[in-house]
């Protein structure tokens, strides 16, 4: 007989067959071979006081069928609790018992999509008369339509139709714009992108959800409408105006995103139904015809549906079908129906129609617990998890053919193939790893071994799975414990490298959930005794064992961490000695003392000593946070930052515990940080800091002196690295310029863009004053808000070119506030050694501005600041990069913008100057007033002088060649631009009015002239007068007809 070591008793290829992750449906024989009886099916109607077993439920269904009773059973549970499993088991058993009496249809989650579901129905309904065949043809057509590549487009189109056919949004912004929003090509591409809402829904309908995905059908979520600045720009400038309006609003208002997602979800059923060209009524008609057909055949219909969400879009019709009884006058020609459907809790609470709830005859749940803490009732104990695991392990050990034969022979639990029975290692294996009796309670035992797990290992892994992403359900146990471990690490058993280190054992366990030695002091001993296998042994101790290396017993019975020698031997590792006797665990930190007394002279070191030593020799630092805090505090206080020209704000920003990492910790370090490598020197530094922080001045002078030397030497060796890190945006990125310079330039440009500068602000001091004034607002009691920034952008839209407003929008208010706040922090310097008195380092800022002026505000381009840098660098760099990239174009655009304004004013004025124009305007208004012609024009926005001044300002700005001067003039010229807009708007309205009045007068004149020759009559009369006077020899006439020359 071979030794029980590195033995693989399961068949690797059977792992994927028995726990089939790709296709949810597994072979029925395997399914029955792995079935664990469910004993905790809670009857919700019974007030939680009644639990059914699966056998009870099966009995209920059968009795109902025999008594010709309608049954509509709902099995509720969080995803993965075993609803499908139970329904499949019911199907197998029910069909065996009642197959002759009922047509039994199981709608599997197989492909878990509407397409797959419809195809199942088509395949299974291949009976019946013409009417039924027609209905089936319709289903087939629906299934085919779902295969069409135009699914996404069709979904969007039907959603758009639903916005006016089905329900209009109560939100005006959505109601007015949604149709063109859904029609906009850019928006459509965005919504249809891979992983986007339309893609998710279309994939769900055609291919089904991912096997592991939890929850119900995919829906819109608010984040689906988080639109990038680039996309928003494209929609606004290239798309429908309505689409731009809604996209802009979505960009600014998270609530609106929520509202839109909810609204579109309400329309989803309608859109899906139209897309598949199959309505709930069609489905209802199909089943009604089927029931008539079966009634004629004298049969009942039993429908077992694993997951109702597969019917998304027509699910409401299905529920109606299932609730329809065969009694009553109208339904007399229907056959009896027994139905069991699996639904998730979320579906039941949000989508199951209220009026149908009372028509459920059996409302059952597989959950235990409540609210967010719900978990599968099936796995409430270590033993239950072991029981379920054992069945799957047994199936993986058996040949498929044997299982099939067993199934075909009646699938009796007591005859289940069990390879343990013939295994030569059965005795030591079951003794070391444990075994579970999976036989029927009233039959002979069927002992199945848990190897290569034991009960504790299964439970330890299962309970440590990441609860934020994985619910504790049978599915999680199978996928993330049994399947994952055996597929990933199973081959390592033969290779002699099983189990892997604890961190690698199970992908589903987050680092924070990894177990630790129950007695950390044993770490050093474990490492030392385990040698090269220390990590594997530690994994074994932590998961299979009790988390200690406590040794008990002697010889072959000697257990370490409760693990027998056979456990170690089975995996090809030597059992370590472990530790005997009482191990003194470190005491927890003492409660803070209200009246601390001087500590006695240390004699036994500190609580950090063992930890530091363990780390020095390759282990983890368990007191990591405290030790790191000591170290960072030391760095911050020991370096003379002023000497190195580092602003106080930069030190605050960069010298934080989170930015320093001590090598060798279990967590994965992310972001921008300095890694201090494991070394003896650093270990000594940590030790010194631990001593100093624990005992302070109580240390003996010689110890204190030694520590000072240690710390000093280490600081000298590492100071330059730390200072470089502080001054750089990130560890990897050299500083493109000093942070203060970047922030000063950013803030100056922000003031330009915010129209904060005055035209006469020509000196560096003037500019700095403006910068500081704006920045001071951000550190005042009333800092600017996002709304203020939005107003600024709106104002910019009114008085500047589009590029100007776009740049402001790209910069974003938060970054502007950050730059301004940080600039003051950076410039804020302590006065001497004082920590209270501070002054503003104007000299540095003035120097920056002077240098900028010296190069006529030319901004040199810098490499992009990396994403993982500090927020200050990221904000400053982000703003600077935008400014550097766009400033020249912006000034050109702005000049073009103002030229356009001037051109427009010139076009309106023609050859006439401001005086002539405004005189004509006044005269016109007087004429209107004198003749009582109504109009809604106010007074002109200003007099001729104002018009003349603004024309002069804008003209000068346009013609200004210098970048700096032009920028200041543009910033200061907002009011002139506004006036120009006002004049243009006013004069344009006046032109419109004059044209309109002129046209009216033309019509009036034509009409009067057509209706009467009064004027000619008057002229004739006057002519007569003149003729008479001429005849009579009177002098020539001076008086003319009544008229006033304009």
Partner 1 sequence: MITALLSDTRAKIVLAKRLKDAQSEVKAIEVTLTELEKLLDAARQLAAAAEVCRDRLGAEMIAPVLAQTVAVAQEAQASRKRFAEGTSRRENLALSNTGRKAQAALKDLGERWQLYAQGQLAPYLELLRLVTYLPEVAASEHEIKQLVAQIRAQVTKPPQSAAQLAQFDGRLTELGRRLESVARLPDEVRSFLMNVVEGRATLADLTPPVRSWVEEGNRATAFSIKFV
Which residues would be at the binding site for partner 1 (CB under 8 A)?
Answer: 907-910, 912, 916-917, 919-921, 923-924, 927-928, 931, 933, 987, 990-991, 994-995, 997-998, 1001-1002, 1004-1005, 1008-1009, 1011-1012, 1014-1015, 1017-1018, 1020-1022, 1024-1029, 1031-1035, 1037, 1039-1044, 1046
Q: In terms of C-beta distances under 8 Å and separation of at least 24 residues, what long-range contacts does 218-224 make, across chains too?
A: 219/261, 219/265, 219/268, 220/260, 220/261, 220/262, 220/264, 220/265, 220/268, 221/197, 221/261, 222/254, 222/257, 222/258, 222/260, 222/261, 223/257, 224/191, 224/196, 224/197, 224/257, 224/261
Question: Shortest gap between Cβ of 182 and partner 1 (angstroms)?
Answer: 44
Other CB atoms within a 10 A radius of the CB of residue 153 amount to 15
Question: Shortest gap between Cβ of 220 and partner 1 (angstroms)?
Answer: 53
CA torsion sign for 154, 160, 164, 168 is: positive
**What is the C-alpha separation between 532 and 516, in angstroms, rounded?**
19
Question: Shortest gap between Cβ of 1038 and partner 1 (angstroms)?
Answer: 8
**What is the C-alpha separation between 240 and 179, in angstroms, rounded?**
10
Question: Shortest gap between Cβ of 935 and partner 1 (angstroms)?
Answer: 12
Question: Shortest gap between Cβ of 875 and partner 1 (angstroms)?
Answer: 49
Closest to 344 (Cα-Cα) out of 314, 381, 317, 374: 374
Question: Shortest gap between Cβ of 908 and partner 1 (angstroms)?
Answer: 5
Which neighbouring-strand residues pair with 43? 364
Q: Which is nearer to partner 1, 922 or 960 (CB)?
A: 922
Q: Which is nearer to partner 1, 23 or 1017 (CB)?
A: 1017
Question: Shortest gap between Cβ of 922 and partner 1 (angstroms)?
Answer: 10
Query: How is 534-586 classified by DSSP, letter by letter?
Result: HHHHHHIIIIIS-SS-BEES-GGG-EETTB-HHHHHHTT-PPP--B-SPPPPP
**What is the C-alpha separation between 35 and 90, in angstroms, rounded?**
11
Question: Shortest gap between Cβ of 1007 and partner 1 (angstroms)?
Answer: 9
Q: Which is nearer to partner 1, 231 or 925 (CB)?
A: 925
Q: Which is nearer to partner 1, 442 or 911 (CB)?
A: 911
Q: Which is nearer to partner 1, 857 or 983 (CB)?
A: 983
Q: Which is nearer to partner 1, 137 or 926 (CB)?
A: 926
Cβ atoms of residues 197 and 213 within 8 Å: no
Q: Which is nearer to partner 1, 327 or 945 (CB)?
A: 945
Q: Which is nearer to partner 1, 333 or 1018 (CB)?
A: 1018
Q: Which is nearer to partner 1, 720 or 1009 (CB)?
A: 1009
Report the DSSP pairing between strands 828-830 and 838-840.
Answer: antiparallel
Closest to 275 (Cα-Cα) out of 205, 374, 323: 205
Question: Shortest gap between Cβ of 1015 and partner 1 (angstroms)?
Answer: 5
Cβ atoms of residues 258 and 222 within 8 Å: yes
Query: How is 62-87 classified by DSSP, letter by letter?
Result: HHHHHTT--EEEEEE-STTSSHHHHH
Q: Which is nearer to partner 1, 297 or 1004 (CB)?
A: 1004
DSSP state of 830: E
Question: Shortest gap between Cβ of 954 and partner 1 (angstroms)?
Answer: 19
**Residue bearing tokens 């006065």:** 831
If you compute the radius of gyration of the chain from its CA atoms, what whole number of angstroms results? 42
Closest to 219 (Cα-Cα) out of 240, 235, 196, 238: 196
Cis? peptide before 499, omega within 30° of 0: yes
Q: Which is nearer to partner 1, 161 or 928 (CB)?
A: 928
Q: Which is nearer to partner 1, 866 or 928 (CB)?
A: 928
Question: Shortest gap between Cβ of 168 and partner 1 (angstroms)?
Answer: 45
Q: Which is nearer to partner 1, 951 or 987 (CB)?
A: 987
CA angle at 42 for the pair 37 and 44, rounded to the nearest 5°: 155
Question: Shortest gap between Cβ of 804 and partner 1 (angstroms)?
Answer: 29
> Quick one: tokens of 853?
């002026």
Cβ atoms of residues 767 and 790 within 8 Å: no
> Quick one: tokens of 407?
């199934």
Question: Shortest gap between Cβ of 942 and partner 1 (angstroms)?
Answer: 16
> Quick one: tokens of 212?
């592991």
Question: Shortest gap between Cβ of 990 and partner 1 (angstroms)?
Answer: 7
Q: Which is nearer to partner 1, 147 or 1040 (CB)?
A: 1040
Closest to 522 (Cα-Cα) out of 551, 485, 483, 491: 551
Cβ atoms of residues 33 and 406 within 8 Å: yes
**What is the C-alpha separation between 176 and 171, in angstroms, rounded?**
9
Q: Which is nearer to partner 1, 213 or 1005 (CB)?
A: 1005
For the stretch 353-379, what's the b/e string if a residue is b when 16 or more beta carbons lie within 10 angstroms of its beta carbon?
eeeeeeebbbbbbbbbeeeeebbbbbb
Query: How is 900-947 classified by DSSP, letter by letter?
Result: HHHHHHHHHHTT--HHHHHHHHHHHHHHHHHTT------S-SS-HHHH
Cβ atoms of residues 963 and 1004 within 8 Å: no
Question: Shortest gap between Cβ of 1043 and partner 1 (angstroms)?
Answer: 6
DSSP state of 310: G
Q: Which is nearer to partner 1, 249 or 920 (CB)?
A: 920
Cβ atoms of residues 500 and 539 within 8 Å: yes
DSSP state of 644: G
Q: Which is nearer to partner 1, 150 or 1005 (CB)?
A: 1005
Question: Shortest gap between Cβ of 799 and partner 1 (angstroms)?
Answer: 23
Question: Shortest gap between Cβ of 1002 and partner 1 (angstroms)?
Answer: 6
Q: Which is nearer to partner 1, 833 or 1040 (CB)?
A: 1040
Cβ atoms of residues 283 and 314 within 8 Å: yes
Question: Shortest gap between Cβ of 223 and partner 1 (angstroms)?
Answer: 53
């Amino acid at each position: 007989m071979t030794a029980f070591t590195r033995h693989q008793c399961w068949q690797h290829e059977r792992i994927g067959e028995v726990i089939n992750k790709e296709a949810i449906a597994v072979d029925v024989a395997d399914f029955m071979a792995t079935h664990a009886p469910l004993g905790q099916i809670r009857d919700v109607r019974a007030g939680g006081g009644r639990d059914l077993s699966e056998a009870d439920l099966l009995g209920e269904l059968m009795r109902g069928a025999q008594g010709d009773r309608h049954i509509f059973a709902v099995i509720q549970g969080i995803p993965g609790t075993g609803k499908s499993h139970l329904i499949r088991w019911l199907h197998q058993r029910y069909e065996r018992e009642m197959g002759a009496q009922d047509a039994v249809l199981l709608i599997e989650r197989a492909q878990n999509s509407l397409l797959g579901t419809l195809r199942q129905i088509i395949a299974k309904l291949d009976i019946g008369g013409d009417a039924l065949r027609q209905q089936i043809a319709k289903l087939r057509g629906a299934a085919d339509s779902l295969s069409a590549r135009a699914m996404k487009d069709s979904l969007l189109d039907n959603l758009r139709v639903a916005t006016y056919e089905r329900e209009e949004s109560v939100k005006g912004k959505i109601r007015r714009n949604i149709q063109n929003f859904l029609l906009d090509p850019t928006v459509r591409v965005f919504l249809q992108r891979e992983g986007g809402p339309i893609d998710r829904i279309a994939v769900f309908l055609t291919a089904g959800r991912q096997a592991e995905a939890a929850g119900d059908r995919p829906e819109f979520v608010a984040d689906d409408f988080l639109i990038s600045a680039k996309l928003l720009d494209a929609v606004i400038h290239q798309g429908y105006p309505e689409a731009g309006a809604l996209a802009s609003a979505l960009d600014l208002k998270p609530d609106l995103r929520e509202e839109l997602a909810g609204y579109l979800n309400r329309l989803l059923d309608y859109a899906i139904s139209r897309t598949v060209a199959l309505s709930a009524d069609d489905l209802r008609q199909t089943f009604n015809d089927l029931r008539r057909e079966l009634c004629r055949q004298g049969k009942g219909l039993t429908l077992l549906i694993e997951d109702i969400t597969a019917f998304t879009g027509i699910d409401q019709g299905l529920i109606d079908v299932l609730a329809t009884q065969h009694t009553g006058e109208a339904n007399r020609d229907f056959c009896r129906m027994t139905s069991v459907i699996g639904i998730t809790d979320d579906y039941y609470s949000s989508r199951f129609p209220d009026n149908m709830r009372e028509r459920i005859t059996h409302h059952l749940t597989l959950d235990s617990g409540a609210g967010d803490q719900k978990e599968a009732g099936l796995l409430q104990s270590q033993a239950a998890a072991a029981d379920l695991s054992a069945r799957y392990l047994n199936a993986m050990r058996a040949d498929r053919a044997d299982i099939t034969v067993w199934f075909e022979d009646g699938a009796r639990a007591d005859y289940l193939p069990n390879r343990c029975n013939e295994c030569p290692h059965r005795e030591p294996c079951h003794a070391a790893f444990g075994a579970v009796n999976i036989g029927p309670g009233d039959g002979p035992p069927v002992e199945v071994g848990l190897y290569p797990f034991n009960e504790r290992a299964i439970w330890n892994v299962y309970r440590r799975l990441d609860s934020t992403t994985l619910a504790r359900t049978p599915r999680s146990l199978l996928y993330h414990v049994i399947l994952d471990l055996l597929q990933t690490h199973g081959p390592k058993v033969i290779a002699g490298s099983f189990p892997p280190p604890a961190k690698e054992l199970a992908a589903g366990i987050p680092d924070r959930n990894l177990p630790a030695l129950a007695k950390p002091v044993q770490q050093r001993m474990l490492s030392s005794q385990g040698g090269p296998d220390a990590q594997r042994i530690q994994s074994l101790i932590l998961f299979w064992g009790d988390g200690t290396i406590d040794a008990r017993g002697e010889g072959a019975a000697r257990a370490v961490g409760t693990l027998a020698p056979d456990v170690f031997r089975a995996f090809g590792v030597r059992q370590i000695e472990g530790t005997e006797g009482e191990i003194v665990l470190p005491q927890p930190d003492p409660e803070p003392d209200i009246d601390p007394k001087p500590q006695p002279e240390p004699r036994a070191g500190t609580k950090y000593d063992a930890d530091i030593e363990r780390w020095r020799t390759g282990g983890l630092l368990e007191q990591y946070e405290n030790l790191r805090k000591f170290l960072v505090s030391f760095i911050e206080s020991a370096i003379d930052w002023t000497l190195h020209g580092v602003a106080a704000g930069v030190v605050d920003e960069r010298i934080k515990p989170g930015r320093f990492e001590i090598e060798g910790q279990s967590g994965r370090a992310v972001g921008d940080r300095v890694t201090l490598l494991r070394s003896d020197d650093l270990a000594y530094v940590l030790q010194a800091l631990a001593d100093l922080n624990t005992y302070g001045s109580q240390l003996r002078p010689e110890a204190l002196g030694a520590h000072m030397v240690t710390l000093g030497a280490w600081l000298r060796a590492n100071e330059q690295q730390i200072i470089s890190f502080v001054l750089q945006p990130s560890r990897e990125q050299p500083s493109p310029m000093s942070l203060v310079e970047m922030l000063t330039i950013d803030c100056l440009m922000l003031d330009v863009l915010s129209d904060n500068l005055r035209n006469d602000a020509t000196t560096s001091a003037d500019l700095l004053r403006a910068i500081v004034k704006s920045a001071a607002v951000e550190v005042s009691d009333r800092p600017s808000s996002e709304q203020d920034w939005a107003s600024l952008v709106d104002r910019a839209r009114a008085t500047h070119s589009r590029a100007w407003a776009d740049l402001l929008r790209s910069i974003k208010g938060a970054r502007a506030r950050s730059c301004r706040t940080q600039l003051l922090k950076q410039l804020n310097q302590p006065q001497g050694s004082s920590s209270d008195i501070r002054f503003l380092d104007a000299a540095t800022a003035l120097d920056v501005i002077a240098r900028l002026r010296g190069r006529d505000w030319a901004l040199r381009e810098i490499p992009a600041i990396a994403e993982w840098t500090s927020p200050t660098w990221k904000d400053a760099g982000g703003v600077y990069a935008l400014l550097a990239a766009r400033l020249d174009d912006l000034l050109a655009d702005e000049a073009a913008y103002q030229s356009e304004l001037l051109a427009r004013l010139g076009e309106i004025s023609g050859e006439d100057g401001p005086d002539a124009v405004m005189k004509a305007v006044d005269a016109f208004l007087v004429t209107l007033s004198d003749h009582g012609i109504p109009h809604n024009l106010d007074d002109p926005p200003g007099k001729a002088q104002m018009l003349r001044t603004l024309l002069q300002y804008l003209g000068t700005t346009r013609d200004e060649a210098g970048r700096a001067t032009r920028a200041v003039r543009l910033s200061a010229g907002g009011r002139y631009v506004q006036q120009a807009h006002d004049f243009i708007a006013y004069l344009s309205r006046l032109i419109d009015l004059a044209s309109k009045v002129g046209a009216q007068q033309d019509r009036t004149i034509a009409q009067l002239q057509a209706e009467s020759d009064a004027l000619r009559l008057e002229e004739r009369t006057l002519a007569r007068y003149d003729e008479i006077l001429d005849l009579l020899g009177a002098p020539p006439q001076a008086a003319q007809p009544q008229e006033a020359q304009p």
